[in-house]
Structure 1
Amino acid sequence: MSLADPTVTSKASSNESQLSPVSPRGHLSSSSSWWPSTERSMISSWVQSPQIDIQNNADVLATGDVFDPYRVRGKLSWAEIGNYSLASEVSWMSVGKKQLEYASGALRRFSKLVEQLARVNPINLSCNEKLAFWINLYNALIMHAYLAYGVPRSDLKLFSLMQKAAYTVGGHSYTAATMEYVILKMKPPTHRPQIALLLAIHKLKVSEEDTHEPLLAFALSCGMYSSPAVRIYTAKGLKEELQEAQGDFIQASIGLSSKGKLLVSKMLHCYAKSLVEDSNLGVWISRYLPPHQAAFVEQCISQRRQSLLASRSCGILPFDSRFRYLFLPDNKISL
């Protein structure tokens, strides 16, 4: 487990509105992005272009130890990636006798909470209460399943695990797959087409109604490298919390290549396709970035449109299914 620098937490609010040279708010102690001299020279030659006002955008590009939560090779990390820069990262897991003894007290308390779910009746909850309840329960169940059965090595094994891992809620058993695709009405992820095939093979009835909450894509985590960070959701502030989760994910998961091409994660690109055309993707993403970064992105896109580099408006970063959890510090999660 790697922790974000705790000293930057108290400074975050005072520094958010200030523009300064490259100085990240925080990074993971073992997860920093270090750029070789060859890449630094390539970056340097690009940013020296007379068309780009790099003097006023020095905090947009980074060549130092900036935590990039998706560590994509060839990506220029942001110096400011929002709340993800303060995240705690779990990137490796080992379950053995010593570990279980160390966590036995916490596991007993957790088991008692799970047992109490049998007395919960979700039917009596309001719409927001139901959403918050099932989001939190889904994320907890996936983590619990990894502890009980180990980390799956493929989408096929993950889907098998999602059908095996279940909680009893109100007298009924609900698997993780049922929670995601039946209760929360999530569509099979287009960025992972094999899931749709597995759903059909296993004849899991997926809702045909387009009534799901689209922002759930930024709330549900399968503990994969490209999954969003885990946080606690509440009924009272659900709408704002989902919007914040979306903005945090966008700010942390996009970048700029050495040639000024916008780099977008596969999950985000698939989500945005239903909202905007590829040609307007950069402008849409800019709405979720700090003003100075948004202006820089739009400037890079504009320059590419005026050159032969505009054959494709953005680069798609492939979905990474390696095990990894990010936990945001504002959430009271015991690890």
Structure 2
Amino acid sequence: MQLHVVLENAIEHVAAELSDLSCIPNDAQKLLSNIATLESAVSRLEDEIVSLHFQLIQERNERRLAEYRFKQLPSQAQDTLDGMIMQEENISPEILQRAELGRLKKQIPEKRLRNYPNQLSEEIVRCVKNIFISLADASIVPSKISSENFQPSTSPSGHLSSSSRWSLSELSALSSWSQSPQIDLQCGNEVLAAGSIFDPYKVRGKLSWNDIGNYSLAKEVSWMSVGKQQLEYAAGALRRFRSLIEQLAEVNPIHLSDNEKLAFWINLYNALIMHAYLAYGVPRSDMKLFSLMQKAAYTVGGHSFTATCIEYVILKMKPPVHRPQTALLLALQKPKVSEEQKKFAIETPEPLVTFALSCGSYSSPAVKVYTPRNLKDELQEAQRDFIRASVGLSSKGKLLVPKMVQSFARALVDDSKLAIWISRFLPQEQAAFVEQCVSQRRQSFLGSRNCGVLPFDARFRYLFLPERLP
């Protein structure tokens, strides 16, 4: 009977501790040990197969398109183009970096973007963004969907993505907002939003700003359809996207400046996550997203880089405290890279990259194209735009801050000064209103806690910002 129970459990949990199986015959113990070893090997091989399949598709398309282009490209144009490239090899990277983007686009044929890594990464993001927007089915779901009802969205593969899962402490904090006494907010009519204002980070209990800045211009994709009509519409963009991805294999970003590397890998990371969603569907949890990030990879300069490798090795990002499951998995399964791959990494970590990387979740920042020329300004703008759009007030006058922003700010200020730090990124009227609410709470018996933390929402959704912002 003991043997029966052990074997029955082993069918579902093969990796059980074999030290607990001393009551069964040695032959059965060896059998279970062999099964556990084989299960581990099969799991590892399955992961490798998925990764190889992903790369095989890229290589197959690269060969076909290369053959087609070779037949179509006139020899005279090829000689002229080669001459152009030879002349530009003597130009310093600084001069090329200052060149106007529009002029470069006209001078650089698409098939030669492999010689210009930053322009290539920018075009890849633009292309996959257009594919997502093309596949968005606006006839079924309005483009401005509020997240207030917390209804799960539909992924491109037709499955439901993960809905919000909040901890007991977070739910307790939400409850306290409704239980605490009312603060007089009547004087804030000019800065608080009416119900019709689009708020991409609207959650239960949060009063939004009347003006959320550049995020009011964002295009939202929280539902997608892969029907025949949508695929036909996106077919041209898909062909162009494959063409751009194929060129990455010949890109060598090792000798780029730090700003150039940073912009290149930010763009590539955002594109790779979107590409993985199109190829595999949207994962239902952070654990499955982490698994997907370890499978999906691009070949750059002859090396394969997964999304996990790009984020935590190349960009040197810290484990995401605001996503504890991912942080735990990262601690248990650290990305493995070669010494050669490490040469592709940036020299110094840039914390503001937090506001540039998107994993396609409701709580993620919007996606936009990053360029090396004004990268520092663009990252600071990304930080300001995200904070301005995602931070709000409760009806009790408490500042509501996303977990991601709180985790980021903890490296800079104490929690007691978080509200003041947030005010730096808000318009003058909003900042003054926040300071007034904080002051009222301090003077009342509401306690010293002036901020509430909004948990990370893992449901599928992308926001795309236009390139030319006011």
* TM surpasses 0.5: yes
Distance 1:331 1:100 in 2: 28
Correspondence for 2:196: 65
Q: Give distance in 2, aligned partners of 1:66 and 1:85.
A: 9
Which residues in structure 2 correspond to 1:48-197 (within 5 Å)? Answer: 49=184, 54=187, 57-197=188-328
2:352·2:380 contact (CA, 8 Å) conserved in 1? Answer: yes
Q: Which residue does 1:30 correspond to in 2?
A: 144
Identity fraction in percent: 72
Q: Any unmatched runs of 5+ in structure 2? A: 1-131, 134-141, 150-177
**Residues 265, 318 of structure 1: 8 Å contact kept:** yes
Q: Provide the secondary structure at the position in 1 that maps to 2:447.
A: helix
Q: Is the 8 A contact 2:272 2:297 kept in 1?
A: yes
The partner residue of 1:259 within 396, 416, 421 is 396
Letter in 2 for 1:68: D
Is 1:204 paired with 2:318?
no
Structure 1 pair 322/328, CA: closer, same or farther in 2 (3 Å)? same
Conservation of the 8 A alpha-carbon contact between 1:122 and 1:130: yes
Distance in 2 separating the partners of 1:277 and 1:169: 41
TM-score (normalised: structure 1):
0.82
The 2-side partners of 1:34 and 1:150 are apart by: 25
Residues 270-326 of structure 1, C-alpha deviation per residue, up to 9 Å, x if partnerless? 101111111111111111110011000001001101111124121001100000000
1:106-161 Cα offsets, whole Å, 9 max, x none, are 11111010010111101111100000000000000110110010001001110111
Query: Which residue of structure 1 lines up, in the alignment, with residue 67 of structure 2?
Result: none
TM-superposed CA distance for 1:46, in Å, is 5.4
Q: Give the C-alpha shift of residue 97 in structure 1.
A: 4.6
- Paired AA for residue 157 in structure 1: K
Asked whether the 8 Å contact 1:33–1:65 carries over to 2, the reply is no
Query: Structure 1 pair 119/62, CA: closer, same or farther in 2 (3 Å)?
Result: same
Q: 1 CA distance for matches of 2:245 and 2:377? A: 27
- The aligned residue for residue 450 of structure 2 is 313
Give 2:73's aligned residue.
none
Letter in 2 for 1:61: L
CA RMSD in angstroms, aligned pairs only: 2.6
Match of residue 221, structure 1, among 344, 349, 358: 358
Give the secondary-structure state (helix, strand or coil) at the position aligned to 2:244: helix
Moved more, 307-316 or 288-297: 307-316
* Counterpart Cα distance in 1 of 2:332 and 2:148: 44
Corresponding position of 1:293: 430
Distance in 1 separating the partners of 2:277 and 2:447? 43
| Contact 1:141–1:165 (Cα < 8 Å) also in 2 | yes
In 2, Cα distance between the equivalents of 1:325 and 1:33? 13
**Which one-letter code corresponds to 1:233 in the other structure?**
Y
2:451 & 2:413 partners in 1: Cα distance? 13
1:242 maps to 2:392: no
1:92-112 CA distance string (max 9 Å, x none): 123345433332221111101
Q: Is 1:284 paired with 2:398?
A: no
Q: Is the 8 A contact 1:33 1:67 kept in 2?
A: no
Q: How far apart are the structure 2 equivalents of 1:250 and 1:244?
A: 10
Aligned mates of 1:73, 1:140 — CA distance in 2: 31
> Considering only CA atoms, is the larger Rg found in Structure 1 or Structure 2?
2
- Mapped contact 1:139–1:222 kept (Cα < 8 A): yes
Q: Any conservation in 2 of the 1:278–1:313 contact (CA below 8 Å)?
A: no
Whether the aligned pair in 2 keeps the contact of 1:33 and 1:64 (CA below 8 Å) is no
Equivalents in 1 of 2:246, 2:228: separation in Å? 24
User: What's the CA shift string for 1:234-260, capped at 9, x where partnerless?
Assistant: 000000000000000000011110010
Alpha-carbon separation, structure 1, partners of 2:460 and 2:285: 10
Task: Give the corresponding residue for 2:124.
Answer: none
Q: 1:211 to 1:125 in 2, by over 3 A?
A: closer
Note the C-alpha offset of 1:86: 1.1
Aligned residues: 294
Q: What are the within-5 Å matches in structure 2 for residues 38-53 of structure 1?
A: 49=184
Query: Following TM superposition, by how much is the alpha carbon of 1:30 offset from its aligned partner in structure 2, in angstroms?
Result: 3.3
* Amino acid of the structure 2 residue aligned with 1:126: S
Give the TM-score normalised by structure 2: 0.59
Gaps of 5+ in 1: 3-27, 36-41
Opposite residue 382 of structure 2, the aligned amino acid is A
Q: What amino acid is aligned across from residue 227 of structure 1 in structure 2? A: S
Secondary structure at 1:144 match in 2: helix
1:151-185, CA deviations, whole angstroms, 9 ceiling, x for partnerless residues? Answer: 01001110111011111101111111100010000
Distance 2:445 2:144 in 1: 39
